Structure formats: structure tokens, C-alpha cells
Amino acid sequence: MAERTRAHPEQTRAHPEQTRTHRGEGAPLGDLGRRLATRRSQLGLTRRETATRAGMAPSYLAYLEEHPGAAPGPGPLLRLAEALETTVSELTGGEIDLPPGPAGAARTPEFTELEPPECRALLATHGVGRLAVSTESGLVIVPVNYSVIESSVVFRTALGATPALAAGARVAFEVDRIDDAFSRGWSVLVRGDARAVTDADEQRLLASQAHSTPWAGGRRDLWVRIGLDTVTGRRISL
């Protein structure tokens, strides 16, 4: 059965709207387009390299990334998933509400301790981490957007919010990545003293170098800095 797409056949001839991909990549649009672009970026692949892996024209991949209405058939999706070392469900957002790690363990996994330099390098990739703080009702773990600036984990929160309890306390902070398709991943754990940043110049510095604004939105004026007193990590690989 022929693979069907919406308004664009898979072929090697460039679509008129996609000739700009030879000069530079357009912005990814739509759910599928953003997931494709994000995954190949994680792997360090260009569109042309990804298309070659998947056995399709770069112009077709550009179409999928740049047109929200693109609806590729199962064949192209399977080839893209294989090329990007992931699953069709992951590319199409089918696992968005599932916790990471539902796949079974690999046949012969290898568990290793990470050296401090590698832990710090992985930590510096930024993103969302888990902050463990002590509250009146006990320990609580909350996700926060973080950056690594001047050998510290920094994040921004609101006064009175749970993450604000970290200021002036010793805390734990964890970040990890899991590859469900290949049952592998890593985690890095930081333990250190956290403090509120009150100096205006330091606040401006953090704001200018932060990887991202808080996903939760709203007014979040309190900067918290966690020292990297102890950094440990583990990796599970094939």
C-alpha cells in the first residue's frame, strides 16, 4: 500500500516552499515538527543527515517540520523513529502523559558510576531538575527549571512557593535523562547549601545567563543558588 501524506508526496524533488532549506532551516511548527527538530538536535543531526538516515528527501523532512498540517503515513514515521533512535509514539506525542522508563530493561545492561567531570558536564546541559527540600510535613520533591552558572545550580521561584524553602538550607538536587527506546539513561545528584541571591548585580547576571525562564510562568523574583558541594552520578548503558 502506498504511504499517504497530506498535500505532499514523499519524493526527491524539492517542494517550492522548501527551497530555503538549502540556505538554512526554517522554524519547526506543529507538534510533530517540533518533536522531530528537538530529537535530531539532541542527537546533533542536521535535517540532511536525518533524512539520509531515514531514506527520504531533505525537502520532505523540512515539510514535516515546518507544516503543522503534515500527516505522514506509518512508513515514514517508522523510518524517522529508527533514524532518530526513538519510537513513533514518542515522535507523535503519544507518551506525553506517561512517566519515563516504562520500557523493559535491556538484556545486558551495564551500570557504571560517573566521574565528577562527566557529572558536571551532564548537569550543565540544563533543563528541568528535581529539588528535594524539607517542609513542616516532611521532605518534598518538586521540579524546577534550572541553569548552571559559575559552578552553581540556580533557579528562580516565587516567595512563599515550596522551592523557596531551599534558601538557607542544605538540599539535594537531581537531574536525569532516560532513553526508553534503548532502556538506557543517566542521573546526576547534587548535594549542597542553598542561598537566596539578594545582590542586585548578581541577580542581573543570573537573569542574563539563565537558560530559560520558569515554565510555570507568573512573577518569580527569588533567585536561589545551590553550591555543588557533592556531585555524583550513575549511568545505565547497553
Q: How far apart are the first and last CA of the chain?
A: 36
Q: CA torsion angle for 216, 218, 221, 226 (degrees, to 10)?
A: 0
Residues 229 and 117 in one domain: yes
Tell which of 91, 121, 146 closes a domain. Answer: 91
Tell which of 91, 120, 152 closes a domain. Answer: 91
* Residue 124 lies inside a defined structural domain of this protein: yes
* Residue 131 lies inside a defined structural domain of this protein: yes
Pairing relationship of beta strands 230-237 and 127-135 according to DSSP bridges: unpaired
List per-residue pLDDT tens for the chain, 238 residues long.
434 334 444 433 333 333 333 345 676 667 889 889 989 998 999 999 999 999 999 999 999 999 888 889 889 999 999 999 888 888 888 766 555 666 666 667 788 999 999 999 999 987 899 999 999 999 999 999 999 998 899 999 999 999 999 999 999 999 998 876 677 889 999 999 999 999 999 999 999 988 877 877 788 889 999 999 999 999 988 7
pTM of the model: 0.61
Residues 70 and 116 in one domain: no
Residues 69 and 133 in one domain: no
Residues 86 and 119 in one domain: no
- Boundaries of domain holding 171: 110-237
Residues 138 and 84 in one domain: no
Number of domains in the chain: 2
Tell which of 57, 91, 125 closes a domain. Answer: 91
* Residue 173 lies inside a defined structural domain of this protein: yes
Which CATH number does the domain housing residue 183 bear? 2.30.110.10
Helices within 67-108 (DSSP H only): 74-83, 88-91
